[in-house]
Chain A
Amino acid sequence: MSEAVVAGHHELRVRVPARGPRADAGAVAVVWRREMITSFRNKLRFAMALVQPLLFLFVLGGGLQGVATGSIGDFSFKTFLFPGVLATAVFMPALFSAGSIVFDREFGFMREMMVAPIRRATIVIGKCVGGATVATIQGLLVLCLAGAVHVPYDPAMLASLVGEIALFSLALVSFGVMLAAGITQFMTFQAVMQTVMFPLIFLSGTLFPQSGLPRWLEVVTRLDPVSYAVDALRGTVFRALDAPARARHVLDPGIDWWGWKVPIGVELGIVALSGLVMLAIAIRRFEAIE
């Protein structure tokens, strides 16, 4: 172990320690902290990310109410939309955070991290946890609006939702980082995200019940992990609701595999597993960058 004596104003011994698990955890924490500082410093970006979910909830929700009344009676379509809108609320911040990796790479700062005496995995994990934290906080802001759309502030439900949002955020950022690892230009990343984001949102039952989709698309929705995240959020909200059976049947049918209704626990397991797989791929792709 070598030490460098620094002759400055202060006689200081500065020494960079050898790496170990503690140092790895430290590196994750540093990358996470930077994500917090830069994200919350940009208030406008934070506020803009709330616009789309609010539009979906109040404008789309209000507008579709009239059309939906035939099948769901008096039940508020906004209440149905709420869990889906929670999901869309984390989409933008999660993917934006992932995209900042491309931005860092294009504008140089990534290099500072890449040349540090740390394992590449710690950069990816720090980035993903940081992005997930930001996305979760944005989800929580939307969650605060529950009462406005007749969803009760039930503590057990709220606690479950927070956990589900955090898990979904982490999986989404991992997905974004996995894609971002192969892209060197921020503009390209934005284009890819626009292309990927809307099919994911539309196919996952976020904004309308999947029962309305044609049969062949059902196969696609069952392969899409986002469907399970959204269904888990919706199941959690509907459990705390006093909804008429007819509305419940139309709006919260759940996802079934050949007639077996997939329970929320399994759905969350699918989200977690797919998140981990994507995180592992993201790390591998990152380690390959020169």
Chain B
Amino acid sequence: MSVAPPITDQAVSAHGLVKRYAEVEAVAGVDFDVARGETFGFLGPNGAGKSTTIKMLCTLVEPSAGTAVVAGHDVVRERLDVRRHIGLVFQDTTVDGYLTGEENLRFHAQLYGMPRASIGPRIDDVLEVVGLAERRGSLVREYSGGMRRRLEIGRGLLHAPQVLFLDEPTIGLDPQTRAGIWQYVADLKRREEVTIFLTTHYMDEAEQCDRIAIMDAGRLLVVDSPEALKAGVGADRVRIGTEDDEAAIAALRERFGVEAAISEGEVTFHVAGGETFVPRLFAELGVAIRSVSVARPSLDDVFMSWTGRSIRDAEAAAGPSRLIAHMMRGGR
């Protein structure tokens, strides 16, 4: 039943993927390709449709329309073949707390039907890579959150998948642990020829990717490398605290021809050459300025330039609808 994969350089290839739930179009038609060996990131606020897209690619959710080929196999017609060649790390923990770290890996190896002789050495290897060799015999319920995450990532790699899917791999972890996890992922990339597909709403995580796709409200807005995306903004971000934000926004429009918006409590706008703009601002704005900051474009600015709001504002706005979506899922 296994079909020889077509000769292609694409690890993932999606065309017109759509997922509709009763009332909502969670994914509204996305197209993209991920090259073999690439680290590809989906960046977007919660509720943007990232997880739904990843679930379609992993054969967990059937697309309402469109097609996708992962590791050379169609995600609808060749589900088990796709699954053999991918590794998955979910947002929520899926390791068994009542088994030891090693037992969790052994279970996985046998579930995937790995050849008996390769299981032992491969487990040793993976435990080494994720830094859990010392704790292999402890029950996973005694592990810290970061250790569990590492075990899950190691498990996702155990059967040497062609594509490793990481759905919000470091959500809920403290910054130090997150940095550590990324160190491990970078090491893995060096040692294993694996394509990494991840979703995130952390900018620093997106920075680690070769290419990023920005997703919002079920659509892909742009796909490019972080550097190209930042260069594309072409302007610095200026944030000012003022005595009268509304008057400041109006003045910016009238006197400088700059569109500004309030983001995270401050008047924010983008101009080329931020440093030379600031002195003019003080001289000509006509509204008292309390504070100023100028920053080189970040991915957050990229996100803002494509969606008109910051990712944190988008998260806040998406809050209630996410809750409802969660309740709907729980009720199924």
Contacts and interface: CB of A to CB of B under 8 A. Distances in A.
A111 interface: yes
B95 A18 contact: no
Interface string B79-96: 011011100101011111
B178 interface: no
A112 B94 contact: yes
B98 interface: yes
Given A2-B162, A115-B60, A8 B95 contact: no
Contacts, number: 131
B19 to A, nearest CB: 11
Nearest to B161: A4
B160 A1 contact: no
A7 B98 CA distance: 31
Nearest to B155: A112
A17 interface: yes
Given A1-B2, A1-B4, A16-B113, A30 B107 contact: yes
A15 B115 contact: yes
Given A16-B159, A109-B96, A115 B122 contact: no
Contacts of A118: 80, 111
A154 B161 CA distance: 56
Interface in B1-24: 1-2, 4-5
A12 B113 contact: no
Q: Is the interface of B mostly helix, strand, loop or mixed?
A: loop
B110 A26 contact: yes
A18 B193 contact: no
Given A2-B5, A2-B85, A38-B98, A23 B113 contact: yes
Given A2-B5, A4-B193, A19-B80, A116 B122 contact: no
A14 B193 contact: no
B83 A12 contact: no
A231 to B, nearest CB: 37
Interface in A163-197: 184
Interface in A14-34: 14-19, 23, 26-27, 29-31, 33-34
B262 interface: no
A10 B124 CA distance: 10
B128 interface: yes
A8 B191 contact: yes
B114 A14 contact: yes
B58 interface: yes
Contacts of A1: 2, 4
B299 to A, nearest CB: 30
B121 interface: yes
Interface residues of A, number: 44
Contacts of A10: 121-122, 125
Contact of B113 (A4, A9, A26, A104): A26
Interface string A105-128: 001111111111110000000000
User: Which of B98, B103, B125 is most buried by chain A, counting CB atoms within 10 A of its CB?
Assistant: B98
A18 B2 contact: yes
User: Which of A8, A14, A42 is most buried by chain B, counting CB atoms within 10 A of its CB?
Assistant: A14
A107 B125 contact: no
Contact of B103 (A5, A37, A104, A111): A37
Contacts of A30: 107, 110-111
B330 interface: yes
Given A6-B160, A18-B1, A117 B83 contact: yes
B72 interface: yes
Contacts of A115: 58-60, 83, 88
A107 B98 CA distance: 11
Nearest to B72: A2
Nearest to B191: A7
A16 B84 contact: yes
Contact of A7 (B71, B95, B193): B193
B108 interface: yes
Given A16-B84, A16-B114, A30-B110, A109 B94 contact: yes
Contacts of A19: 1, 80, 113
A27 B110 CA distance: 7
B84 A18 contact: yes
Interface in A73-89: none
Contacts of A9: 124-125, 128
A108 B99 contact: no
Interface string B47-73: 000000000001111000000000110
| In the A-B complex, the 5 residue pairs with the closest CB atoms | A117-B83, A14-B160, A4-B160, A18-B2, A16-B84
Given A8-B122, A112-B111, 7 more contacts: A4-B160, A7-B193, A15-B114, A19-B113, A26-B110, A109-B94, A117-B83
